[in-house]
Amino acid sequence: MSEVDRLQYFLDQQRQAVLAIIEGLDEAQLHAAVLPSGWTPIGLVLHLAGAEAMWFQRVAAGTQPTVTWTDGVVDPPYDPDAAFVTQHDSAAVIEHYRAQCRISDEILRSRGLDTSLPGQHGIPWPDEPITDLRWVALHLIEETARHAGHLDAARELLDGRTGLGPR
């Protein structure tokens, strides 16, 4: 198995966990904030879609991601300090997340892992330099796994279910 295949495998495992954890929640539950920070499960999925777009499209590929919603809901400007919430229909958000993941996969598989990054992320990163596509892939695995854990806790608070997903 190649390094790209391994990275893809672990990224896919975390993405599948996110979707498995929220599967079966109704629209009200997906839009319910159950923790004091105020984020909602579907808002967190939208955040993950944005992370996929920002890191793979904007940073790794140097392109500007675009999103076109057909539901008339206008997203506010990104605020890293705001709770992750959305008024978009959950099915549309989930499809948007899947679409962003497909684009990310194309970028991951079409460039070398040592490829330098043409885009900018705009967020100070104090611990280490953001150097190449490998770093982006590892960061998305970390980011997705972190939020899958958050979703797991929220799911338990919503309906008592635990241990959902591939792991």
Which residues, including other chains, have CB under 8 Å from residue 50's CB and lie 6 or more apart? 78, 100
Q: Is 67 helix (H, G, I), strand (E, B) or coil?
A: coil
In the structure encoding, which two tokens stand for residue 76, read together? 């506010």
> From residue 30, how far is each of 133, 136, 164 by CA, in Å?
32, 28, 16
Question: Against a cut of 0.75, is the pTM above it?
Answer: yes
Class of domain 3-72+85-159: mainly alpha
What pairs with residue 132 in β-bridges? 116
| Side-chain-facing half-sphere of 134: CA atoms under 13 Å | 10
Which residues, including other chains, have CB under 8 Å from residue 30's CB and lie 6 or more apart? 22, 40, 41, 42, 90
Length of the chain as a residue count: 167
Residues 164 and 20 sit within 8 Å (Cβ to Cβ): yes
What does the pLDDT profile of the chain (167 residues) look like in tens digits?
A: 999 999 999 999 999 999 999 999 999 999 999 999 999 999 999 999 999 999 999 999 999 998 888 888 888 877 778 899 999 999 999 999 999 999 999 999 999 999 888 877 776 666 777 889 999 999 999 999 999 999 999 999 999 998 888 76
Gap between the Cα atoms of 162 and 136, Å rounded? 29
Domain assignments of the chain as residue spans, ordered by start: 3-72+85-159
